[in-house]
Structure 1
Amino acid sequence: MPQPSLSVSLRTALTALAFVFSAGLAPAADAGPVIDQIRSQGRIVIAHRESSVPFSYVGPDKRPIGYAVDICRRLAAAVQAKLGLPGLQIDFLQVTPANRIDAIETGKAHLECGSTTNNAARREKVAFTIPHFITGARMLVKAGSGLERIDQPEIKRVAVTRNTTPLGAVRRIKAERGLRMEIVETEDHEKAIQMVERGEADAFVMDDVLLYGLASVRPDPAALKVVGRFMTTEPLAIMLPKGDAAFKKIVDDEMRRLIFSREIHGIYQQWFEQAIPPNNVPLNLPISYLLRDFWKFPTDQVP
């Protein structure tokens, strides 16, 4: 005849053993390669840009400033709080469009705070959090040029920053429409806008919000204007390394907190609706309906 007391005791012991075994195998909620590195070094590395106004650029005092930089500072504070660190040093690493993805993929930086588009090709190499801006590529030309469309015969040379999504769009448009224009790839936005100012290029194609920002800090902002229809749709988001779900959760949770608390609205207004360095000129760009709608159900999953 079976002995119930022995059966219950055995079942209890096996259950306890299974719990201990599974707990030993399960990763801690705040553990992962990125988190472990941040915890052991007591620092987080934020990649920034030189001239992606107003998202991420070098200010008059040579320190990184901007909309994305301010968001990243809050993300760093969230990491510090979640990990229970008494302090967390923030180190900045300046990157370009050409090397920004590599900086994240190889672990040189933990966050890239700039104006990078979240798309499928890049998600093969890096992760993204929830977009902080939605824009599209247009053209920057001289104000008196009379240029309005990229397919105008008068456009002979177009400058586009290397390793950006607008570069792929311009190549596609050139091939589809049989345009004869020359595409000049530049290392950064500063070089491209200088080419337009000096007459070395007829247009500079980039995200329109960046074009407005770049024009606002030129010696003569009125000499340039943004024209044309959108050639792309660009959800801009902060990059972070793949392979650390716990780190990404901290970042995503903080982005959602910033959005649902509307704290991000204040950051946005500071950089897009108020006067910004170095010329103390406002961009006067209120939050678009596209971004407002996207933030109703914030997600890192974008088409």
Structure 2
Amino acid sequence: MRTRLMAAAMVAAGALTLAACSSDDDPGDGGTGDGGGGGGDTIRIGIKFDQPGLGFKDGDTYTGFDVDVAKYVAGELGYTEDQIEFVESPSAQRETMLQNGQVDLIFATYSITDERKEVVSFAGPYFVAGQDLLVAADDTTITGPEDLEGKNLCSVTGSTSAQRIKDEYAAGTNLLEQPGYSECVTALTAGTVDAVTTDDIILAGLASIPANEGKVKVVGNPFSEENYGVGMPKDSDRCQAVTDAITKMLGDGAWQKALDDNVGASGYVPNADLNPPEPAACE
């Protein structure tokens, strides 16, 4: 009798072990399947963390026009806001982050260019910006890049906007380079420089900060055209769905609301001939 009891106990223990192994190997309903989120439990979205009005991180809060567009598109893809993981995506690292799978999508003032399209795909554009100038609110002397001859201009290190001004409009511009645009605006309000340059909507975001309201203004004379797109890995199967989501946002009022909410305080009005844009086919 004792032998039969011991044998039964060993069989029961073996069954429990097999059940435990099966549970570890098979994710079942609690695994990483669709999770109700359009292809995964979370979606990793690259944004800027240091661009007020566009992509800005304050503690655990993310705000800006790019952030609002990202949330809308993610929602159309089937993700709730708590399924979005925002990842900082510096300009110089965007292609690498997409190629390495560090992010699924990038909404970070990411201009669509032929060179970039060789290594990543784009949906959009969802906004057409232009390189412009930020000046003191009472400045009436600077109306365009040609007025910067002999004046002091601030931009971030390696800015294509600043270099274009020196190459094409005012070779005698004195360039002050800073690590970030916030430092440039500080120099502008202090009178150290006469203007700041980058894309107009980025300047509008800086001008919308309560501390800067009424002190600075966007000139409103853009000298380039920058088509902001949603970056994704090359030949991503999400491309058409993202384009469809952008098209819907442009048409249902959510795009204009996001723009007004984030940069409206600056008084900036985007080029009506270019915005809202018509999203192109996936590229």
TM-score interval for Structure 1 and Structure 2 normalised by the shorter chain: 0.7 to 0.9
For 1:63, the aligned partner's letter is T
TM alignment of 1:14-163, pairs within 5 A = 42-58=41-57, 62-80=60-78, 89-145=83-139, 146-152=141-147, 155-162=150-157
- Residue of structure 1 aligned with 2:241, choices 241, 247, 250: 250
Deviations 1:65-120 (A, max 9, x none): 22222222232233347xxxx99832111233333343333321111123221122
Q: Quote the Cα distance in structure 2 between the aligned partners of 1:45 and 1:67.
A: 17
Where structure 2 has 5 or more consecutive residues not aligned to the other structure, the ranges are: 1-33
- Residue of structure 2 aligned with 1:288, choices 267, 272, 277: 272
Where structure 1 has 5 or more consecutive residues not aligned to the other structure, the ranges are: 1-34
Deviations 1:155-186 (A, max 9, x none): 433222346xxx32432342345612233443
Check 1:147–1:62 CA distance in 2 against 1; reply closer, same or farther (3 A cut).
farther
- Decide whether the 8 Å contact of 2:156 with 2:179 is kept in 1: yes
| SS in structure 2 of the partner of residue 100 of structure 1 | helix
- Residue of structure 1 aligned with 2:191, choices 191, 199, 208: 199
- Decide whether the 8 Å contact of 1:142 with 1:197 is kept in 2: yes
Q: How far 1:56 sits from its partner (Å)?
A: 2.1
For 2:87, the aligned partner's letter is L
The yes-or-no answer on 1:229 pairing with 2:221 is yes
Deviations 1:38-77 (A, max 9, x none): 9886321111212434332235x64112222222223223
- Decide whether the 8 Å contact of 2:111 with 2:229 is kept in 1: yes
Q: Quote the Cα distance in structure 2 between the aligned partners of 1:196 and 1:137.
A: 17
Partner of 2:6: none
For 1:95, the aligned partner's letter is S
- Decide whether the 8 Å contact of 1:138 with 1:227 is kept in 2: yes
The yes-or-no answer on 1:273 pairing with 2:271 is no
Q: Which has the larger radius of gyration?
A: 2
TM alignment of 1:162-241, pairs within 5 A = 162=157, 167-177=159-169, 179-227=171-219, 229-241=221-233
Q: How far 1:227 sits from its partner (Å)?
A: 1.8
| SS in structure 2 of the partner of residue 290 of structure 1 | coil
Range 124-133 or range 98-107, more displaced: 98-107
Check 1:135–1:154 CA distance in 2 against 1; reply closer, same or farther (3 A cut).
same
Q: Quote the Cα distance in structure 1 between the aligned partners of 2:43 and 2:282.
A: 25
| SS in structure 2 of the partner of residue 138 of structure 1 | strand
How many residue pairs end up in the alignment? 247
- Decide whether the 8 Å contact of 2:121 with 2:231 is kept in 1: yes
Deviations 1:239-287 (A, max 9, x none): 112132x12222223223334xx23x22422x3334x59xx94746478
Q: How far 1:195 sits from its partner (Å)?
A: 2.6
Q: Quote the Cα distance in structure 2 between the aligned partners of 1:107 and 1:175.
A: 37
Q: Quote the Cα distance in structure 2 between the aligned partners of 1:87 and 1:150.
A: 41
- Decide whether the 8 Å contact of 2:162 with 2:198 is kept in 1: no
CA-atom RMSD in angstroms: 3.3
Q: Quote the Cα distance in structure 2 between the aligned partners of 1:104 and 1:299.
A: 21
TM-score, normalization by structure 1: 0.68
For 1:299, the aligned partner's letter is A
For 1:188, the aligned partner's letter is G
| SS in structure 2 of the partner of residue 237 of structure 1 | strand
Q: Quote the Cα distance in structure 2 between the aligned partners of 1:89 and 1:133.
A: 25
Q: Quote the Cα distance in structure 2 between the aligned partners of 1:229 and 1:237.
A: 22
Q: Quote the Cα distance in structure 1 between the aligned partners of 2:41 and 2:142.
A: 52
Q: Quote the Cα distance in structure 1 between the aligned partners of 2:266 and 2:249.
A: 23
